[in-house]
Amino acid sequence: MSGRGERIVMVTAYDYPSGRLADVAGIDLILVGDSAAMTVLGHATTVPATMEEMLMLTRAVTRGAERPLVVADMPFGSYQVSDEDAVRNAVRFVKEAGADAVKLEGAGPSLSRVAALVGVGIPVMGHLGLTPQSATMLGGYRAQGKTAEKARKLLEDAVALERAGCFALVLEAVPAPVAARISDELGIPTIGIGSGAGCDGQVLVLHDLLGLYSGHSPRFTKRYAEIGAEIQGALEQFAADVRSGAFPEEEHTYAMPEDELEAFLSSPTPRARTET
């Protein structure tokens, strides 16, 4: 697609309906992001996401999404220790959850993980810039590559990830001109989030774009809907209808044949069995 100059669209999804809706909407790639730890599981960061949780979410998404490429995010701790761990866990995403590819964060030690995964036939998406799993090391959730030296390091890491075998690279919270240069220099597509229009594609977190997450959304997200407010309004209306007796109505109930009803209503009340 990037070769044809077509911008790539990626969105996160975490369950069957969001996978299905993303597919029907014509989204190119779905990321089962470890952002699920925050958006779906209510944690303060992405760090607590576990393999079992990510596998369950990925299985649900792949049941709903048939056409888009589904990328499973490897959670913190599932690839940091060794290449062997990375392969073992990535194989589970492909084999048990139906993922097409996996994503992992950073360069450095992640380079040998990428090579190991690609070596066993698992496509890998890289992730540079603001890498939430190591946000503490980066000094918090803040833009990366804002000095010439740091931008140069990002470019070097991006080239190294491409050489290691990544098929695409997420660039998160990187100044737009830095992301544009990285995108120009790489042969693989870049997918930006908060990194400007010079990337080959864009990704947003589903809950941010739908207005479904009440936590802090980064400035680079754009809300395309206010689904959270819609849901809350619907729930309040449901509660009010039940309390006032406005729900259920006739149309929400089942009828039965008249004669059966009469027979039922005229039948004697069963007595409680008395113990002898």
Structure token pair of residue 186: 């790489």
DSSP β-bridge partners for residue 127 = 170
Least Å distance between CB 172 and ligand KIV?
A: 6
Residue closer to ligand KIV by CB (options 71, 232) is: 71
| Integer Cα distance of 194 and 212 in angstroms | 19
Please give the helix or strand (H or E) that residue 192 lies within, else none: strand 190-193
Residue closer to ligand KIV by CB (options 45, 147) is: 45
| Integer Cα distance of 189 and 170 in angstroms | 9
Contacts of 260 (CB under 8 A, 6+ apart): none
Contacts of 112 (CB under 8 A, 6+ apart): 83, 164
Least Å distance between CB 220 and ligand KIV?
A: 10
Least Å distance between CB 39 and ligand KIV?
A: 8
| Integer Cα distance of 17 and 166 in angstroms | 29
Which one of 6, 52, 172, 275 is the catalytic residue? 172
Residue closer to ligand KIV by CB (options 111, 205) is: 205
Residue closer to ligand KIV by CB (options 140, 245) is: 140
Q: Which residues in this chain contact ligand KIV in the complex, by CB under 6 A?
A: 12, 31, 33-35, 73, 127, 170, 172, 193, 203, 205
Axis-axis angle for helices 51-64, 16-24 (nearest 10)? 40
Least Å distance between CB 34 and ligand KIV?
A: 5
Residue nearest ligand KIV, CB atom distance: 33
Does the annotation count 66 as an active-site position? no
Q: Which residues are catalytic?
A: 172
